[in-house]
């Protein structure tokens, strides 16, 4: 690449990048040769002149540059091959004709700041097809939005593309929320299949991109243990875990969330799958409800804890761990002997070891012993980059009370 903008790091700031981490922070940069604007491809160099890859420039963000390639490659030449590689990985792990999945997971797919969920299903007017829900969360990628939309249309021919860029991190990038239809037509809601069940996905206003795809296989892993048991699905959102358990033969499912619209979706999804007789919902703060259930002597054979990310940054990790300990302690007290705890954390700021050690603290306080049956990451449509722990954000442990 001629006339390339070069970003030279301070001495010894290259180690993380060499080990696979794709971000360059503003305070790690010694000098910039050229005047990059948002979305420009910049060549990364160590202080000693070692080439570290090509990155997209985000002028307002502390994460000033995000590497997309180890080669000296213009973004225009990188975009479509990177997308094709991302699709190839999903095609190897999913049946793309029937299964919904995340087809682009940002940095881990060489497309920093870009998230694309692909939903396969049926719109209310019986139109079958696929729809994309897109989030553009970095200024460097936002500059390429129209090229991204074109590439997605060419590679996937979706019926429609919905943008859902509204995460709080946008502010750090100097970006405004951007929500709307980018291409084709997008129904308010569609019905899709997961683990053999029909779920309604609200593309326009559901939480995150409409449906939490990362837990699909963890829901199946929970359901495998649920036969005949009373199940508590805490932080249930639209009922992914609880309904999978009900379909797998749970005796009853109590689905708890603080969001009334989420619970309305649980009720509708239960009806859609003929599970209404076994599924009930309760609108409550799960922290309070777990205590209340314990006091009233209710016991369960399987409890799911899938709270939102309690830690949103480094400063809130300690408070987050207290939160995880509290709900896990309460849930443990609710378990029958031999009962299962499916406990999750989706905060990238809380690493696996601190999460598991917090659960051990909770067990000590609950005076219960547990076996760890499984530790599960996000489904393979959310791949993790080695050396980039932010991409290994989801932890799901399945424990059994002794
Ligand atoms: N288990 C869900 C995803 C959960 S997302 C699934 O499988 O799809 C986290 C959910 O926690 C959201 O639906 C949110 O509304 C809910 N939530 C957040 N704080 C809560 C609280 N204090 N009590 C109960 N629910 C809460």
Residue of minimum CA distance from atom 13 in ligand 1? 237
For ligand 1, say whether the CB of 259 is within 6 Å of any of its atoms.
Answer: yes
Q: What is the pLDDT of residue 314?
A: 86
Q: What is the pLDDT of residue 2?
A: 47
Residue 346 annotated as catalytic: yes
Dist. CA 316–CA 311, nearest whole Å: 5
What element of type H or E holds 273? none
Q: What is the pLDDT of residue 188?
A: 87
Q: What is the pLDDT of residue 209?
A: 56
pTM for the full predicted model: 0.94
Residue 43 CA from chain centroid, whole number: 30
Q: What is the pLDDT of residue 206?
A: 58
Q: What is the pLDDT of residue 307?
A: 97
Q: What is the pLDDT of residue 312?
A: 83
One digit per residue, the tens of pLDDT, for the chain of length 402 reads 546 899 999 999 999 999 999 999 999 999 999 999 999 999 999 999 999 999 999 999 999 999 999 999 999 999 999 999 999 999 999 999 999 999 999 999 999 999 999 999 999 988 999 999 999 999 999 999 999 999 999 999 999 999 999 988 999 999 999 999 999 999 988 999 999 999 999 888 755 557 899 999 999 999 999 999 999 999 999 999 999 999 999 999 999 999 999 999 999 999 999 999 999 999 999 999 999 999 999 999 999 999 999 988 889 999 999 999 999 999 999 999 999 999 999 999 999 999 999 999 999 999 999 999 999 999 999 999 999 999 999 999 999 999
Residue of minimum CA distance from atom 3 in ligand 1? 237
To test the ligand 1 pocket, which listed residue (119, 260, 307) has its Cβ within 8 A of the most ligand atoms?
307
Q: In sequence order, what E strands does 247-402 have?
A: 252-257, 279-283, 300-305, 335-345, 370-376, 395-401
For ligand 1, say whether the CB of 258 is within 6 Å of any of its atoms.
Answer: yes
Q: Are strands 23-25 and 5-9 parallel, antiparallel or unpaired?
A: unpaired
85 alpha carbon to ligand 1 midpoint, in Å?
33
For ligand 1, say whether the CB of 308 is within 6 Å of any of its atoms.
Answer: yes
Q: What is the pLDDT of residue 207?
A: 56
Dist. CA 263–CA 257, nearest whole Å: 7
106 alpha carbon to ligand 1 midpoint, in Å?
24
Structural domains of the chain ordered from first start: 6-69 (2.30.130.10), 75-191 (3.30.750.80), 212-401 (3.40.50.150)
Cβ atoms of 124 and 159 within 8 Å: the answer is no
Q: What is the pLDDT of residue 208?
A: 53
234 alpha carbon to ligand 1 midpoint, in Å?
7
**CA nearest 217: which of 373, 100, 77?**
100
For ligand 1, say whether the CB of 214 is within 6 Å of any of its atoms.
Answer: no
Ligand 1 atom, smallest distance to 344 CA:
1
Instruction: Choose the catalytic residue: 101, 236, 346, 396.
Output: 346
Residues 6+ apart with CB under 8 A from 208: 164
What is the per-residue burial (b if ≥16 Cβ within 10 Å, else e) of 345-384?
bbbbbbbeebbbebbeebbeebebebeeeeebbbbbbbbb
């Amino acid at each position: 690449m001629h006339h390339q903008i070069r970003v030279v790091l301070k001495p010894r700031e290259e180690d993380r990048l060499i080990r696979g981490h794709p971000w360059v922070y503003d305070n790690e940069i010694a000098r910039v040769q050229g005047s990059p604007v948002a979305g420009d491809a910049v060549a990364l160099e160590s202080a000693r002149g070692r080439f570290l890859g090509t990155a997209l420039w985000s002028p307002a963000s502390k994460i000033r540059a995000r590497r997309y390639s180890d080669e000296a490659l213009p973004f225009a030449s990188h975009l479509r091959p990177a997308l094709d590689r991302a699709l190839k990985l999903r095609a190897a792990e999913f049946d793309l004709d029937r299964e919904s999945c995340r087809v682009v997971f940002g940095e881990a797919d060489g497309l920093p700041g870009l998230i694309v969920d692909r939903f396969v299903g049926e719109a209310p007017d019986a139109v079958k097809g696929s729809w994309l829900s897109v989030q553009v969360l970095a200024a460097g990628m936002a500059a390429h939005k129209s090229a991204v939309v074109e590439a997605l249309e060419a590679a996937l021919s979706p019926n429609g593309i919905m943008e859902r860029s509204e995460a709080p991190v946008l502010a750090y990038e100097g970006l405004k929320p951007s929500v709307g239809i980018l291409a084709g037509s997008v129904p308010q809601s569609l019905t899709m299949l997961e683990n053999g069940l029909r779920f309604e996905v609200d593309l326009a206003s559901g939480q995150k991109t409409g449906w939490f795809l990362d837990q699909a296989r963890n829901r199946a892993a929970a359901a495998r243990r649920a036969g005949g048991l009373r199940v508590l699905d805490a932080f249930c959102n639209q009922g992914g875990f609880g309904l999978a358990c009900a379909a797998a033969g749970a005796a009853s499912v109590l689905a708890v969330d603080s969001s009334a619209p989420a619970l309305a979706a649980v009720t509708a999804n239960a009806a859609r799958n003929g599970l209404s007789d076994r599924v009930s919902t309760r609108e409550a703060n799960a922290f309070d409800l777990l205590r209340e259930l314990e006091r009233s002597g209710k016991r369960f054979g399987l409890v799911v804890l899938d709270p939102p990310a309690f830690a949103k940054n480094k400063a809130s990790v300690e408070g987050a761990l207290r939160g995880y300990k509290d709900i896990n302690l309460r849930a443990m007290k609710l378990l029958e002997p031999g009962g299962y705890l499916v406990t999750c954390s989706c905060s990238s700021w809380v690493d696996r070891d601190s999460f598991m050690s917090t659960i051990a603290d909770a067990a000590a306080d609950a005076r219960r012993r547990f076996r760890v049956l499984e530790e599960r990451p996000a489904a393979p449509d959310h791949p993790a980059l080695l050396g980039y722990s932010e991409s290994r954000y989801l932890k799901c442990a399945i424990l059994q009370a002794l």
